Amino acid sequence: MTKYSLRSSALDILLRVGDNGAFSHLLIDQALKSNKIAVRDQALLTEMVYGTLQRKLSLDYFVNHFVAKPNKLKSWVRWLLYLSFYQMHYLSKVPDHAIIHEAVSIANERGHKGISSLVNGVLRSAQRQGFPSFEAISDDVERISLATSHPAWLVDRWIKQYGLEKTEVICQANLDSKPLSVRVQPLRITKEQAIDQLQEEGYQTAQSSFSPQGLIVEEGNILKSELFQKDCLTIQDQSSMLVAEMMQIEENQYVLDACSAPGGKTTHIAEKLNNTGQVMAYDLHEKKVDLVAVKAFALGLSNIETKGADSRELSAFHEPNSFDRILIDAPCSGLGVIRGKPDIKYNKDEADIMKLAKIQLELLENISPLLKKDGKLLYSTCTVDKEENERVIEAFLQAHPDFEIDQTFFTELPDVLKQAPGITTTGLQIFPDDYQTDGFFLTRIQKKG
Ligand SMILES: C[S@@+](CC[C@H](N)C(=O)[O-])C[C@H]1O[C@@H](n2cnc3c(N)ncnc32)[C@H](O)[C@@H]1O
Protein backbone atom coordinates (compact mmCIF):
# COMPACT_ATOMS: atom_id res chain seq x y z
CA MET A 1 0.00 0.00 0.00
CA THR A 2 1.38 3.39 -0.92
CA LYS A 3 1.64 6.29 1.52
CA TYR A 4 -1.00 8.12 -0.49
CA SER A 5 -3.69 5.54 0.13
CA LEU A 6 -2.60 5.19 3.76
CA ARG A 7 -3.39 8.86 4.31
CA SER A 8 -6.57 8.52 2.33
CA SER A 9 -7.61 5.67 4.67
CA ALA A 10 -6.73 7.86 7.67
CA LEU A 11 -8.87 10.65 6.21
CA ASP A 12 -11.82 8.28 5.67
CA ILE A 13 -11.67 7.19 9.32
CA LEU A 14 -11.37 10.77 10.54
CA LEU A 15 -14.41 11.79 8.51
CA ARG A 16 -16.50 8.96 9.92
CA VAL A 17 -15.43 9.74 13.49
CA GLY A 18 -15.50 13.50 13.16
CA ASP A 19 -18.69 13.92 11.17
CA ASN A 20 -20.71 10.80 11.94
CA GLY A 21 -19.77 10.20 15.56
CA ALA A 22 -18.25 6.74 14.96
CA PHE A 23 -15.85 5.43 17.63
CA SER A 24 -12.24 5.88 16.56
CA HIS A 25 -10.91 2.75 18.27
CA LEU A 26 -13.53 0.54 16.59
CA LEU A 27 -12.82 1.97 13.13
CA ILE A 28 -9.07 1.64 13.56
CA ASP A 29 -9.51 -1.96 14.73
CA GLN A 30 -11.67 -2.64 11.68
CA ALA A 31 -9.17 -1.04 9.32
CA LEU A 32 -6.26 -3.00 10.81
CA LYS A 33 -8.18 -6.29 10.73
CA SER A 34 -9.28 -5.72 7.11
CA ASN A 35 -5.74 -6.53 5.95
CA LYS A 36 -5.88 -3.53 3.62
CA ILE A 37 -3.20 -1.72 5.61
CA ALA A 38 0.36 -3.00 5.26
CA VAL A 39 1.80 -4.19 8.58
CA ARG A 40 4.58 -1.61 8.43
CA ASP A 41 1.98 1.17 8.06
CA GLN A 42 -0.35 0.09 10.87
CA ALA A 43 1.38 1.99 13.65
CA LEU A 44 1.55 5.16 11.53
CA LEU A 45 -2.16 4.92 10.61
CA THR A 46 -3.07 4.57 14.28
CA GLU A 47 -0.81 7.44 15.26
CA MET A 48 -2.13 9.75 12.53
CA VAL A 49 -5.79 9.08 13.33
CA TYR A 50 -5.49 9.24 17.12
CA GLY A 51 -3.06 12.15 17.00
CA THR A 52 -5.26 14.21 14.69
CA LEU A 53 -8.34 13.52 16.83
CA GLN A 54 -6.44 14.20 20.04
CA ARG A 55 -5.21 17.57 18.72
CA LYS A 56 -8.37 18.59 16.87
CA LEU A 57 -8.91 21.92 18.66
CA SER A 58 -5.25 22.94 18.31
CA LEU A 59 -5.35 21.99 14.61
CA ASP A 60 -8.54 23.96 14.18
CA TYR A 61 -6.76 26.98 15.67
CA PHE A 62 -4.08 26.57 13.00
CA VAL A 63 -6.69 26.25 10.24
CA ASN A 64 -8.36 29.46 11.41
CA HIS A 65 -4.96 31.14 11.42
CA PHE A 66 -3.94 30.14 7.88
CA VAL A 67 -7.25 29.95 5.99
CA ALA A 68 -8.90 33.23 5.01
CA LYS A 69 -12.49 31.92 5.12
CA PRO A 70 -12.34 28.81 7.31
CA ASN A 71 -16.15 28.55 7.62
CA LYS A 72 -16.41 27.97 3.89
CA LEU A 73 -14.21 24.83 3.97
CA LYS A 74 -15.87 21.53 3.12
CA SER A 75 -15.63 19.07 5.95
CA TRP A 76 -13.25 16.68 4.16
CA VAL A 77 -10.91 19.56 3.26
CA ARG A 78 -10.86 20.71 6.88
CA TRP A 79 -10.00 17.17 8.05
CA LEU A 80 -7.33 16.88 5.33
CA LEU A 81 -5.77 20.10 6.65
CA TYR A 82 -5.98 18.81 10.25
CA LEU A 83 -4.31 15.55 9.21
CA SER A 84 -1.55 17.38 7.32
CA PHE A 85 -0.95 19.99 10.05
CA TYR A 86 -0.79 17.21 12.63
CA GLN A 87 1.99 15.47 10.74
CA MET A 88 3.84 18.73 10.05
CA HIS A 89 3.68 20.08 13.60
CA TYR A 90 3.54 17.08 15.91
CA LEU A 91 5.27 14.26 14.00
CA SER A 92 8.86 14.27 12.87
CA LYS A 93 8.62 11.10 10.79
CA VAL A 94 7.66 12.54 7.40
CA PRO A 95 9.27 15.59 5.74
CA ASP A 96 6.94 18.54 5.11
CA HIS A 97 7.32 18.43 1.32
CA ALA A 98 6.10 14.79 1.27
CA ILE A 99 3.11 15.63 3.50
CA ILE A 100 2.16 18.55 1.26
CA HIS A 101 2.59 16.49 -1.91
CA GLU A 102 0.31 13.74 -0.58
CA ALA A 103 -2.32 16.16 0.71
CA VAL A 104 -2.46 17.89 -2.68
CA SER A 105 -2.82 14.52 -4.44
CA ILE A 106 -5.74 13.61 -2.16
CA ALA A 107 -7.32 17.04 -2.75
CA ASN A 108 -6.96 16.54 -6.52
CA GLU A 109 -8.48 13.11 -6.36
CA ARG A 110 -11.47 14.09 -4.18
CA GLY A 111 -12.07 17.69 -5.25
CA HIS A 112 -11.16 20.01 -8.05
CA LYS A 113 -8.24 22.24 -9.03
CA GLY A 114 -9.42 25.12 -6.80
CA ILE A 115 -9.39 22.91 -3.70
CA SER A 116 -6.00 21.38 -4.39
CA SER A 117 -4.42 24.81 -4.90
CA LEU A 118 -6.03 26.04 -1.66
CA VAL A 119 -4.62 23.00 0.22
CA ASN A 120 -1.23 23.56 -1.41
CA GLY A 121 -1.23 27.30 -0.56
CA VAL A 122 -2.33 26.82 3.07
CA LEU A 123 0.18 24.06 3.81
CA ARG A 124 3.02 25.97 2.15
CA SER A 125 2.19 29.08 4.19
CA ALA A 126 2.41 27.02 7.38
CA GLN A 127 5.70 25.52 6.22
CA ARG A 128 7.12 28.98 5.46
CA GLN A 129 5.77 30.95 8.44
CA GLY A 130 5.74 28.24 11.12
CA PHE A 131 2.80 27.53 13.42
CA PRO A 132 1.43 30.19 15.80
CA SER A 133 2.27 29.75 19.49
CA PHE A 134 -0.39 29.24 22.15
CA GLU A 135 1.69 30.98 24.81
CA ALA A 136 0.51 34.39 23.62
CA ILE A 137 -3.11 33.60 24.58
CA SER A 138 -3.65 35.48 27.85
CA ASP A 139 -6.87 33.81 29.03
CA ASP A 140 -5.90 30.62 30.95
CA VAL A 141 -8.95 28.61 29.96
CA GLU A 142 -8.60 29.48 26.28
CA ARG A 143 -4.84 28.87 26.27
CA ILE A 144 -5.06 25.43 27.92
CA SER A 145 -8.09 24.54 25.82
CA LEU A 146 -6.39 25.35 22.51
CA ALA A 147 -2.88 24.18 23.41
CA THR A 148 -4.04 20.80 24.74
CA SER A 149 -7.20 20.45 22.67
CA HIS A 150 -9.71 20.07 25.50
CA PRO A 151 -13.08 21.87 25.24
CA ALA A 152 -13.13 25.13 27.18
CA TRP A 153 -16.07 24.04 29.40
CA LEU A 154 -14.04 21.05 30.59
CA VAL A 155 -10.88 23.05 31.26
CA ASP A 156 -12.95 25.61 33.16
CA ARG A 157 -14.69 22.86 35.14
CA TRP A 158 -11.42 21.11 36.06
CA ILE A 159 -9.81 24.42 37.09
CA LYS A 160 -12.74 25.04 39.45
CA GLN A 161 -12.53 21.51 40.85
CA TYR A 162 -8.78 20.81 40.94
CA GLY A 163 -6.99 24.14 40.36
CA LEU A 164 -5.14 25.65 37.39
CA GLU A 165 -1.84 23.83 37.78
CA LYS A 166 -3.36 20.36 38.12
CA THR A 167 -5.71 20.98 35.20
CA GLU A 168 -2.83 21.92 32.93
CA VAL A 169 -0.94 18.77 33.90
CA ILE A 170 -4.00 16.52 33.43
CA CYS A 171 -4.65 18.00 29.99
CA GLN A 172 -1.01 17.54 28.96
CA ALA A 173 -0.99 13.95 30.24
CA ASN A 174 -4.08 13.19 28.16
CA LEU A 175 -2.00 13.87 25.05
CA ASP A 176 0.77 11.42 25.96
CA SER A 177 0.61 7.72 25.36
CA LYS A 178 0.63 5.47 28.40
CA PRO A 179 2.18 2.02 28.67
CA LEU A 180 -0.09 -0.92 27.96
CA SER A 181 -0.72 -3.26 30.87
CA VAL A 182 -2.00 -6.82 31.07
CA ARG A 183 -3.52 -8.99 33.76
CA VAL A 184 -2.19 -12.49 34.14
CA GLN A 185 -4.85 -15.24 34.41
CA PRO A 186 -3.55 -16.88 37.61
CA LEU A 187 -5.54 -20.09 37.14
CA ARG A 188 -3.52 -20.75 33.99
CA ILE A 189 -0.07 -19.40 34.74
CA THR A 190 1.77 -17.70 37.59
CA LYS A 191 2.97 -14.16 37.14
CA GLU A 192 6.60 -15.30 37.44
CA GLN A 193 6.09 -17.91 34.69
CA ALA A 194 4.41 -15.27 32.53
CA ILE A 195 7.31 -12.84 33.00
CA ASP A 196 9.86 -15.55 32.07
CA GLN A 197 7.91 -16.76 29.07
CA LEU A 198 7.34 -13.24 27.78
CA GLN A 199 11.03 -12.49 28.20
CA GLU A 200 11.88 -15.58 26.15
CA GLU A 201 9.53 -14.30 23.43
CA GLY A 202 11.38 -10.96 23.47
CA TYR A 203 8.94 -8.85 25.54
CA GLN A 204 10.07 -6.50 28.29
CA THR A 205 7.64 -6.23 31.19
CA ALA A 206 7.60 -4.64 34.64
CA GLN A 207 5.41 -5.60 37.59
CA SER A 208 2.45 -3.36 38.34
CA SER A 209 2.35 -1.79 41.76
CA PHE A 210 -1.47 -1.61 41.55
CA SER A 211 -2.21 -5.33 41.22
CA PRO A 212 -0.20 -8.49 41.90
CA GLN A 213 -1.68 -9.86 38.67
CA GLY A 214 -0.62 -6.85 36.62
CA LEU A 215 2.29 -6.47 34.20
CA ILE A 216 3.29 -3.31 32.38
CA VAL A 217 4.43 -3.99 28.84
CA GLU A 218 7.55 -1.94 28.21
CA GLU A 219 8.48 -3.33 24.84
CA GLY A 220 6.84 -5.43 22.13
CA ASN A 221 3.36 -5.90 20.66
CA ILE A 222 1.83 -8.10 23.36
CA LEU A 223 -1.18 -8.94 21.17
CA LYS A 224 1.15 -11.13 19.12
CA SER A 225 2.52 -13.03 22.13
CA GLU A 226 1.74 -16.72 22.56
CA LEU A 227 0.45 -16.06 26.08
CA PHE A 228 -2.05 -13.49 24.85
CA GLN A 229 -3.20 -15.76 22.02
CA LYS A 230 -3.74 -18.55 24.57
CA ASP A 231 -5.89 -16.31 26.81
CA CYS A 232 -3.41 -16.29 29.65
CA LEU A 233 -3.35 -12.47 29.53
CA THR A 234 -6.11 -9.85 29.47
CA ILE A 235 -5.43 -6.29 28.36
CA GLN A 236 -6.47 -4.05 31.26
CA ASP A 237 -5.40 -0.68 32.55
CA GLN A 238 -3.76 -0.75 35.97
CA SER A 239 -6.37 1.58 37.53
CA SER A 240 -9.07 -0.75 36.32
CA MET A 241 -7.23 -3.72 37.88
CA LEU A 242 -7.14 -1.89 41.20
CA VAL A 243 -10.95 -2.13 41.42
CA ALA A 244 -11.18 -5.90 41.99
CA GLU A 245 -8.03 -5.73 44.12
CA MET A 246 -9.83 -3.38 46.51
CA MET A 247 -12.94 -5.55 46.90
CA GLN A 248 -11.56 -7.91 49.57
CA ILE A 249 -12.51 -10.91 47.44
CA GLU A 250 -12.26 -14.31 49.11
CA GLU A 251 -13.12 -17.76 47.82
CA ASN A 252 -16.80 -18.82 47.77
CA GLN A 253 -18.23 -15.32 48.03
CA TYR A 254 -21.44 -14.35 46.25
CA VAL A 255 -20.61 -11.22 44.25
CA LEU A 256 -22.76 -8.81 42.27
CA ASP A 257 -21.20 -6.91 39.36
CA ALA A 258 -24.03 -4.53 38.50
CA CYS A 259 -22.53 -2.85 35.40
CA SER A 260 -20.31 -5.54 34.02
CA ALA A 261 -19.84 -5.26 30.26
CA PRO A 262 -17.49 -5.88 28.57
CA GLY A 263 -16.31 -7.89 31.57
CA GLY A 264 -12.79 -6.74 32.42
CA LYS A 265 -13.54 -6.48 36.11
CA THR A 266 -16.05 -9.37 36.25
CA THR A 267 -13.41 -11.79 35.02
CA HIS A 268 -10.82 -10.32 37.36
CA ILE A 269 -13.20 -10.86 40.32
CA ALA A 270 -13.89 -14.41 39.10
CA GLU A 271 -10.14 -15.09 38.94
CA LYS A 272 -9.69 -13.72 42.44
CA LEU A 273 -12.46 -16.07 43.59
CA ASN A 274 -10.26 -18.84 42.17
CA ASN A 275 -13.23 -19.96 40.09
CA THR A 276 -15.28 -20.64 43.25
CA GLY A 277 -18.39 -18.83 44.54
CA GLN A 278 -20.38 -16.90 41.98
CA VAL A 279 -20.36 -13.57 40.20
CA MET A 280 -23.76 -12.33 39.03
CA ALA A 281 -22.86 -10.08 36.12
CA TYR A 282 -25.52 -7.69 34.90
CA ASP A 283 -25.56 -5.03 32.23
CA LEU A 284 -28.33 -2.94 30.74
CA HIS A 285 -27.70 -4.22 27.25
CA GLU A 286 -28.23 -7.92 26.51
CA LYS A 287 -25.77 -7.77 23.61
CA LYS A 288 -23.06 -6.28 25.79
CA VAL A 289 -23.59 -8.87 28.49
CA ASP A 290 -22.83 -11.55 25.88
CA LEU A 291 -19.32 -10.06 25.67
CA VAL A 292 -18.86 -10.85 29.35
CA ALA A 293 -19.90 -14.48 28.79
CA VAL A 294 -17.52 -14.79 25.82
CA LYS A 295 -14.64 -13.35 27.86
CA ALA A 296 -15.43 -15.66 30.81
CA PHE A 297 -15.45 -18.68 28.49
CA ALA A 298 -12.15 -17.69 26.87
CA LEU A 299 -10.51 -17.36 30.27
CA GLY A 300 -11.92 -20.71 31.44
CA LEU A 301 -14.02 -19.16 34.24
CA SER A 302 -17.20 -21.03 35.13
CA ASN A 303 -18.28 -19.01 38.18
CA ILE A 304 -19.91 -16.14 36.24
CA GLU A 305 -23.60 -15.89 35.43
CA THR A 306 -24.58 -13.13 33.02
CA LYS A 307 -27.95 -11.40 32.62
CA GLY A 308 -29.25 -8.33 30.81
CA ALA A 309 -31.20 -6.01 33.13
CA ASP A 310 -31.45 -2.50 34.43
CA SER A 311 -29.52 -2.81 37.66
CA ARG A 312 -31.75 -0.19 39.26
CA GLU A 313 -34.40 -2.92 39.30
CA LEU A 314 -32.42 -5.85 40.68
CA SER A 315 -34.53 -6.09 43.82
CA ALA A 316 -37.01 -7.90 41.56
CA PHE A 317 -34.50 -10.77 41.25
CA HIS A 318 -32.53 -10.70 44.49
CA GLU A 319 -33.50 -10.58 48.16
CA PRO A 320 -32.16 -7.82 50.39
CA ASN A 321 -28.91 -8.74 52.21
CA SER A 322 -27.86 -11.23 49.51
CA PHE A 323 -24.37 -10.34 48.37
CA ASP A 324 -21.00 -10.53 50.14
CA ARG A 325 -19.51 -8.09 47.68
CA ILE A 326 -21.00 -5.64 45.22
CA LEU A 327 -19.29 -3.73 42.46
CA ILE A 328 -20.94 -0.71 40.88
CA ASP A 329 -18.53 0.23 38.09
CA ALA A 330 -20.95 2.92 37.07
CA PRO A 331 -21.69 4.28 33.60
CA CYS A 332 -19.82 7.60 33.55
CA SER A 333 -18.56 10.41 31.33
CA GLY A 334 -15.22 8.59 30.82
CA LEU A 335 -13.13 11.73 31.31
CA GLY A 336 -10.34 9.56 32.79
CA VAL A 337 -9.80 7.62 29.57
CA ILE A 338 -9.48 10.49 27.10
CA ARG A 339 -5.93 9.41 26.34
CA GLY A 340 -7.11 6.19 24.71
CA LYS A 341 -10.47 7.48 23.42
CA PRO A 342 -10.04 11.09 22.30
CA ASP A 343 -13.60 11.28 20.93
CA ILE A 344 -14.88 11.44 24.53
CA LYS A 345 -13.69 14.98 25.14
CA TYR A 346 -15.59 16.34 22.14
CA ASN A 347 -18.79 14.32 22.56
CA LYS A 348 -19.61 14.91 26.23
CA ASP A 349 -20.99 18.03 27.86
CA GLU A 350 -21.95 19.24 31.31
CA ALA A 351 -25.57 18.15 30.87
CA ASP A 352 -24.31 14.56 30.32
CA ILE A 353 -22.42 14.74 33.59
CA MET A 354 -25.55 15.79 35.49
CA LYS A 355 -27.61 13.02 33.85
CA LEU A 356 -24.98 10.42 34.66
CA ALA A 357 -24.66 11.56 38.26
CA LYS A 358 -28.41 11.01 38.65
CA ILE A 359 -28.16 7.46 37.26
CA GLN A 360 -25.13 6.73 39.45
CA LEU A 361 -27.02 7.77 42.57
CA GLU A 362 -30.06 5.72 41.49
CA LEU A 363 -27.82 2.69 41.03
CA LEU A 364 -26.38 3.11 44.53
CA GLU A 365 -29.83 3.71 46.04
CA ASN A 366 -31.39 0.63 44.48
CA ILE A 367 -28.49 -1.79 44.71
CA SER A 368 -27.21 -1.06 48.22
CA PRO A 369 -30.10 -2.91 49.99
CA LEU A 370 -28.82 -6.12 48.34
CA LEU A 371 -25.57 -5.92 50.32
CA LYS A 372 -25.20 -8.31 53.27
CA LYS A 373 -24.89 -6.75 56.72
CA ASP A 374 -21.13 -7.36 56.78
CA GLY A 375 -20.71 -6.96 53.02
CA LYS A 376 -18.67 -4.38 51.08
CA LEU A 377 -19.73 -2.31 48.11
CA LEU A 378 -17.15 -0.85 45.78
CA TYR A 379 -18.16 2.15 43.70
CA SER A 380 -15.92 3.11 40.78
CA THR A 381 -15.89 5.24 37.65
CA CYS A 382 -13.32 5.90 34.95
CA THR A 383 -13.92 9.62 35.12
CA VAL A 384 -12.32 12.70 36.61
CA ASP A 385 -15.21 14.79 37.88
CA LYS A 386 -16.38 15.47 41.42
CA GLU A 387 -20.06 15.53 40.46
CA GLU A 388 -19.93 11.86 39.38
CA ASN A 389 -17.54 10.76 42.08
CA GLU A 390 -17.27 12.43 45.49
CA ARG A 391 -20.64 14.24 45.18
CA VAL A 392 -22.54 11.04 44.33
CA ILE A 393 -21.06 9.23 47.32
CA GLU A 394 -21.69 12.20 49.63
CA ALA A 395 -25.32 12.45 48.48
CA PHE A 396 -25.80 8.71 48.99
CA LEU A 397 -24.30 8.73 52.48
CA GLN A 398 -26.33 11.74 53.49
CA ALA A 399 -29.55 10.06 52.45
CA HIS A 400 -28.49 6.70 53.98
CA PRO A 401 -27.01 7.26 57.42
CA ASP A 402 -26.90 3.46 57.92
CA PHE A 403 -23.97 3.34 55.42
CA GLU A 404 -20.42 4.66 55.82
CA ILE A 405 -17.10 4.76 54.00
CA ASP A 406 -15.07 1.68 54.90
CA GLN A 407 -11.94 3.28 56.37
CA THR A 408 -9.86 0.12 55.81
CA PHE A 409 -10.12 0.96 52.10
CA PHE A 410 -7.46 3.64 52.63
CA THR A 411 -5.08 1.46 54.68
CA GLU A 412 -5.37 -1.42 52.20
CA LEU A 413 -4.39 0.67 49.18
CA PRO A 414 -1.15 -0.45 47.54
CA ASP A 415 1.81 1.44 49.05
CA VAL A 416 2.33 3.55 45.96
CA LEU A 417 -1.21 4.92 46.27
CA LYS A 418 -1.30 5.58 50.01
CA GLN A 419 -0.18 9.19 49.48
CA ALA A 420 -1.91 9.65 46.12
CA PRO A 421 -2.71 13.31 45.35
CA GLY A 422 -6.40 12.45 44.83
CA ILE A 423 -7.16 10.91 48.23
CA THR A 424 -10.04 12.60 50.05
CA THR A 425 -12.23 11.48 52.96
CA THR A 426 -14.65 10.16 50.33
CA GLY A 427 -12.33 7.96 48.28
CA LEU A 428 -9.46 7.90 45.83
CA GLN A 429 -9.35 9.91 42.61
CA ILE A 430 -6.53 8.72 40.38
CA PHE A 431 -5.62 11.41 37.85
CA PRO A 432 -4.20 10.36 34.48
CA ASP A 433 -0.94 12.20 35.16
CA ASP A 434 -0.34 10.63 38.59
CA TYR A 435 0.85 7.15 37.59
CA GLN A 436 0.55 7.01 33.78
CA THR A 437 -2.70 5.07 34.08
CA ASP A 438 -6.33 5.84 33.28
CA GLY A 439 -8.08 8.33 35.53
CA PHE A 440 -10.34 6.45 37.95
CA PHE A 441 -12.34 7.02 41.09
CA LEU A 442 -12.82 4.28 43.69
CA THR A 443 -14.29 4.03 47.12
CA ARG A 444 -15.71 1.30 49.35
CA ILE A 445 -18.79 1.57 51.53
CA GLN A 446 -20.34 -0.72 54.13
CA LYS A 447 -23.30 -0.88 56.49
CA LYS A 448 -22.64 0.72 59.86
CA GLY A 449 -22.10 -1.49 62.89
C1 LIG B 1 -17.97 1.59 32.95
S2 LIG B 1 -18.87 0.48 32.03
C3 LIG B 1 -18.51 -1.04 32.84
C4 LIG B 1 -17.17 -1.62 32.51
C5 LIG B 1 -17.02 -3.02 33.10
N6 LIG B 1 -17.24 -3.03 34.53
C7 LIG B 1 -15.64 -3.59 32.81
O8 LIG B 1 -14.76 -3.53 33.65
O9 LIG B 1 -15.45 -4.13 31.72
C10 LIG B 1 -20.50 0.79 32.56
C11 LIG B 1 -21.52 -0.20 32.03
O12 LIG B 1 -22.76 0.10 32.68
C13 LIG B 1 -23.80 -0.28 31.80
N14 LIG B 1 -25.04 0.34 32.30
C15 LIG B 1 -25.46 1.62 32.13
N16 LIG B 1 -26.63 1.82 32.79
C17 LIG B 1 -26.93 0.66 33.41
C18 LIG B 1 -28.01 0.21 34.21
N19 LIG B 1 -29.01 1.04 34.53
N20 LIG B 1 -28.00 -1.06 34.65
C21 LIG B 1 -27.01 -1.90 34.30
N22 LIG B 1 -25.95 -1.55 33.54
C23 LIG B 1 -25.91 -0.28 33.09
C24 LIG B 1 -23.30 0.18 30.44
O25 LIG B 1 -23.95 -0.55 29.43
C26 LIG B 1 -21.80 -0.14 30.54
O27 LIG B 1 -21.51 -1.38 29.95
Q: Is 373 annotated as a binding residue?
A: no
Among 240, 257, 260, residue to substitute to test ligand 1 (most atoms within 8 Å of Cβ): 260
The confidence score (pLDDT) of residue 328 equals 99
The confidence score (pLDDT) of residue 1 equals 46
- Report helix, strand and coil shares of the chain as percent, to nearest 5: 55, 15, 35
The DSSP element (H or E) to which 192 belongs, if any, is helix 191-200
How confident is residue 38, by pLDDT bands cut at 50, 70 and 90? confident
Q: Which residues of 218-241 are buried (b: 16+ CB within 10 A; e: fewer)?
A: eeeebeebebbeeebbbebbbbbb
DSSP, collapsed to helix, strand or coil, labels residue 27 as helix
Q: Which of 179, 329, 217, 314 is nearest to 269 (CA)?
A: 329
Residues with CB under 6 A from ligand 1: 258-265, 282-285, 288, 310-312, 329, 331, 382
Nearest atom (ligand 1) to Cα of 258: 21
412, 360 in Cβ contact below 8 A?
no
Q: Does the pLDDT value for residue 307 go beyond 70?
A: yes
What are the pLDDT digits (tens) for 226-260? 999 999 999 999 999 999 999 999 999 999 999 99
**Ligand 1 geometric centre to CA of 289 (Å):** 9
**Ligand 1 geometric centre to CA of 264 (Å):** 11
- Phi then psi for 89, rounded to 5 degrees? -95, -35
Give yes or no: 382 in active site: yes
Cα 49 from chain centroid (whole Å)? 16
Report the percent of the chain where pLDDT is more than 90.
87
pTM for the whole structure: 0.95
Taken in order of first residue, the domains within the chain and their CATH numbers are 3-129 (1.10.940.10), 140-173 (no CATH), 180-235 (3.30.70.1170), 238-447 (3.40.50.150)
Q: Does the pLDDT value for residue 4 go beyond 70?
A: no
**Ligand 1 geometric centre to CA of 397 (Å):** 22
